[in-house]
Every structure is written in C-alpha cells, then in structure tokens.
Amino acid sequence: PAMPASRCPRPVLPILRWLPRYSRAWLPLDLLAGLAVGLTTVPQALAYAELAGLPLQYGLYSSFMGCFVYCFLGTAKDVTMGPTAIMSLLVSSYAFHEPVYAVLLTFLSGCIQLAMGLLHLGFLLDFISCPVIKGFTSAASITISFNQIKNILGLQGIPRQFFLQVYETLRRIGETRAGDAVLGLTCLAALTGLRAMKSRLPRAAHAEPLAVRISYSIVWISATARNALIVLFAGLVAYSFQVMGSQPFRLTGSIPQGLPAFRPPRFSLAAPNGTVPFLSMVQDMGVGLAVVPLMGLLETIAIAKAFASQNGYRIDPNQELLALGVANVLGSFVSSYPITGSFGRTAVNAQSGVCTPAGGLVTGALVLLSLAYLTSLFYYIPKAALAAVIISAVVPMFDAGIFRTLWRVKKLDLVPLCVTFLLCFWEVQYGIVAGVLVSGILLLYSIARPPIKVSEGTVLLVQPESSLHFPAVEHLRDSVCSRALAATSPPRSIILDCCHISSIDYTVVVGLAELLQELHKHGLSLAFCGLKDPVLQVLLSADLEGFEHFPSREEAGK
C-alpha cells in the first residue's frame, strides 16, 4: 500500500507524511509512472501552447514547476499538474496571444489561489454546480476540437471566435493541404485505436508465460505513451520528406533551446505606442482574473477527489489550493502560463501504479531534459500531429449522456447546463458566469418558496417541509392566510408544525409576529408545535404577542 496514513499530529509539510516511510519497493513504480507521464506531457505541452496561442516553448516552461511543487505540497499521490486543454483555452481568451500577459496571469492567479487556501475559502467552489461544470467542459471539448481542425487541414489565418471559426473553416475548406489532412487524420485514427486498445487490454497474470507478459508490457507501454509515439512517427515522416527535398506539412519550426531564466514576471509591457502599465494589463484581463484561478482550483480539486476516492485515501482541499497557488506563483518566475491538475495525465499516473508524489520529480526532470537537449528535434513535428494529440485528449470530455441523465433525474438542472453550454460558444466567461447565476437563482428560489403542506380538518395544520429563511416568510404568510380565510367554514385554530425548521432569523420572527396579529384580527388563533430548542429560544426571547406552543406528538411520547 502506498502513502500509509500518518498518526496525528500530522506534519505541516505533506512530503513529511510519506517520505520518512518511503519504501524501496515503491521506487521502480514511481520511476515508471513518472516516465510514462513525462512521455505524455512533452508532446501535450507543445500542443497546448499552440492552443493557448503562445510560442511552443511556453508549453514546456509550464510543465515542470507544478511537478516539483506538488511533490512537496500535494496530498494526492496520483495528481500531476501542468498545462491542460481547458486552461490553454482560457489563456488564449485572456492573454491575447502575448506571453507577458500569460505569465502575469499565472502570477496573479497563483496569488488568488494562495489567498483562498490560507483563508480556507475552498467552499466557494461548491457554488459551481455539476451541470455548470458539465456544460462548460462539453462546450470546451467542441470548441477546442474545432479550433484544431484548421491545423489538421493546414489552413492559416482562421479567427479565434468560435462562430467565425466555423464559418471561415467551411468557406475555405477548398484550400485544404492534402499532406496535412492525410497525416492529421492518420494520427487521429492511430491515437483513437491505441486508446481503445488500452481500455480493452486484459491484465497479464504472473502465472502467464514470459512471452505473454512481455507482449502485454509492449502493448501497454505503446498505448500509454501513444502521444509521444505518434509525434515521433509524424516527425520522422516529415524529416524524411525534408531530406528528399519536399515538405507537404506545416511544421512546428524552431523552438529556443535551453531552460527558461528564473526571473519575476514583468508588470508592464512595451508596446509600439508606449508602455502598457500594470493596472491597464489587469483591466485588459478583466474577469479572467476570477475565471482562471477558479477553474484551476475546480479542476485540481475535482481530479484529486476523484482519484483519492477511487484509490481509498483522503485529500486536504485547502492544502491542494495552497499547492496549486505556490505552483503558479513559482511557475510565473520560469515563464509558465497558468497550470492546474490534468485529468488525462493523472489517469496515466494512477494506471502506471504510482505510489507517492515522487513520480512527479521524474516527469519534471524529463521535461527539463527535453528543454535542454531535444528542442532542435521538435522543429520537424508537423502541426497536424499536435492537433491530433489535442483532439484525442479533449473528445472524451464531451459528455453526451449528461443531457439524458438530467432529463431523468431533475429536468430543472438542464437550464444551467444548457445556458452554460450555449453561451460558452460565444465567450467562455459569459457561459460560466451565466451558468453560476442561473444555478444561484434556482437555489435561492427553492429557499424563498419552500414546499408547504396544508391539511384541513377541525384545525388547519400547516407544515413547511424545509427550513425557513427570511425570503420565505411572505410565502408562508400568504399560504396560511389564503387557506385559513378562504375556507367555507374558517377553522378557529391553526397549528404551525415546525419540526423541519432548525433555525430562524430576525426577519422570520417579524413575519411571524405580523401573521399572529393578522389572524388575531380575524378571530383566529395560531399555535406552534414541534419547535426545536434553538428556534424556541429565539421565539421566547422575541416575546411575541399571542405566542403559544406545545410539543409534537413524537416529543410528547418520549
């Protein structure tokens, strides 16, 4: 078992919870997992930088600091941090394809995430409902995939906005470069086949013959490192054409060799017509300073929780916020754009049998080695192959079944889902903000209009079926008065059963006082039953005129 639970009190630094107990048996598994994740990270980093609209080296600059920081500060053994498709899409919206904006966005996002972790504000993420998240990720899957169609077809000068992108791509489809299209579709088919092969691969038992186990290992490694294999294959094909004197593909081109300089982010930008100061840059990024850190936190915590519950251990959400905040702040010193937890690479990590977060050290080291020695080889990687890597990574994010599930479970949840899904095609931030607002309105409506059960007989029994908050007091007054006064033979007594009410506020007390007065004018009495202790104390201290109460039948029988 990896990362055994430590006795209380737990060390403040998460690495101290597992490092003293580190077993030599874990080392080969951590090395293998780190290598498998690294072989996935390098090609994805190049592809995601393209998606973010930044020079490709920025994808690699963003891929190692999170691995190192998470090893020290992370609480989930499986999670791996780095650039992701969704974060790259957001960066393309808010950094304006300008590295200085992207790096400053990383620094400011990290500061916000750190502050949220220190102030224990992780609960704010609970207000982003599952339908909003599903609507956003499904729309992002379509947007990102279509964004890469231009690279598959070899088209240039296609606008970023989704609807214009669709229009321009369809209008110029006749300009498709045959070489890019054939290679891109071949890579996409191969990646799909390798993914399907891995999901259907039976586990080789130790009792199997050696040849069977070796064959299993070869297939497993090929399927796990499929991104690296496909990019390597496409690069070799492009290099072969270059040697023969022709080039049918659009290539990645030169990537600066060497590690990024360790320096603070720039807080101003030199522009042709003068310098853009810090405050102007912040205003330009606008709502991105809320959307980017929140979506980063959401992705990281959702992934950590999913894999922790799957593998039987617990995480500390606030510690995860701190780890992500530190990773982004330090990442901004090595020219990283905003990072978060990666679902795809975390899955590779878990399936590789990682035992501790130390696997991230191997992944980070592999990225650094690539930057130091391999960037000259990346020149020959065709853009169509990187586009295939991105499309293969984001297509599984589209959840077609969620529409059917919500129709069955709760149709009202389709409203925030559809609002988020549709508006994200216009602008990502509008989709998320609108989805959260619609979810909030539905939540507030259920608080303001709780179901109230009214039973008529010799007395009128009124029972709110959920807690009573101040927006609901008018609804309760209307329900009681309309039924009590409209009856053909008005009952002399009304009983308000408060067994579901756990707390009330001053506005509710005022509303109940007014209800007592109104009923008294019409010669009706109102009695309370089933009052919980905190509610009873509040009502007694309010000294309401005509206040009567008695225990419910259950309480009386105790």
| pLDDT at residue 161 tops 90 | no
Mean pLDDT of 19-28: 92
Alpha-carbon gap, residue 137 to 133, rounded angstroms: 6
Q: Which helix (H) or strand (E) covers residue 181, if one does? A: helix 178-199
- Among 257-266, 292-301, 367-376, 450-459, the minimum mean pLDDT is found in 450-459
- Among 136-145, 265-274, 392-401, 480-489, the minimum mean pLDDT is found in 480-489
Q: What is the pLDDT of residues 341-356, one digit of tens each?
A: 998 898 888 878 899 9
Provide the token pair at 60: 């690699």
What is the percent of the chain where pLDDT is above 70? 95
Tell me the three-class secondary structure of 337-379, residue by residue: CCCEECHHHHHHHHHCCCCCCCHHHHHHHHHHHHHHHHCCHHH
| pLDDT at residue 328 tops 90 | yes
- Structure letter (DSSP) for residue 453: E
In this prediction, residue 206 carries a pLDDT of 67
Q: Are the C-beta atoms of residues 391 and 48 closer than 8 Å to each other?
A: no
pLDDT band at 390 (very low <50, low <70, confident <90, very high): confident
Q: What is the pLDDT of residues 275-302, one digit of tens each?
A: 999 999 999 999 999 999 998 988 888 8
Mean pLDDT of 440-454: 90
270 phi/psi in degrees, rounded to 5:
-75, 120
| pLDDT at residue 193 tops 80 | yes
Upstream peptide bond of 99 is cis (omega within 30 degrees of 0): no
Q: Are the C-beta atoms of residues 508 and 469 closer than 8 Å to each other?
A: yes
Q: Residue 90's closest CA among 335, 292, 289? A: 292
Q: Which helix (H) or strand (E) covers residue 494, if one does? A: strand 493-497
Alpha-carbon gap, residue 60 to 91, rounded angstroms: 15
| pLDDT at residue 201 tops 70 | yes
Residue for token pair 């990225």: 367
Q: Are the C-beta atoms of residues 17 and 316 closer than 8 Å to each other?
A: no
- CA distances 7 to 315, 318, 535, Å, are 15, 20, 40
In this prediction, residue 5 carries a pLDDT of 45
Q: Are the C-beta atoms of residues 233 and 342 closer than 8 Å to each other?
A: no
Q: Residue 85's closest CA among 428, 328, 550? A: 428
End-to-end Cα separation, the chain, in angstroms: 49
In this prediction, residue 106 carries a pLDDT of 97
544 phi/psi in degrees, rounded to 5:
-70, 140
Q: What is the pLDDT of residues 76-110, one digit of tens each?
A: 999 999 999 999 999 999 999 999 999 999 999 99
Provide the token pair at 558: 């105790």
| pLDDT at residue 67 tops 90 | yes
Alpha-carbon gap, residue 350 to 58, rounded angstroms: 26
Identify the top-confidence range among 33-37, 309-313, 326-330: 326-330
Burial class of residue 410 (count of CB atoms within 10 Å of its CB; 0-12, 13-18, 19+): exposed
Give 390 or 359, the one with higher predicted confidence: 359
In this prediction, residue 10 carries a pLDDT of 60
pTM of the predicted protein model: 0.80
In this prediction, residue 552 carries a pLDDT of 54
Alpha-carbon gap, residue 151 to 146, rounded angstroms: 10
3-state class of 495 per DSSP? strand
pLDDT band at 548 (very low <50, low <70, confident <90, very high): confident
In this prediction, residue 489 carries a pLDDT of 65
Mean pLDDT of 380-398: 89
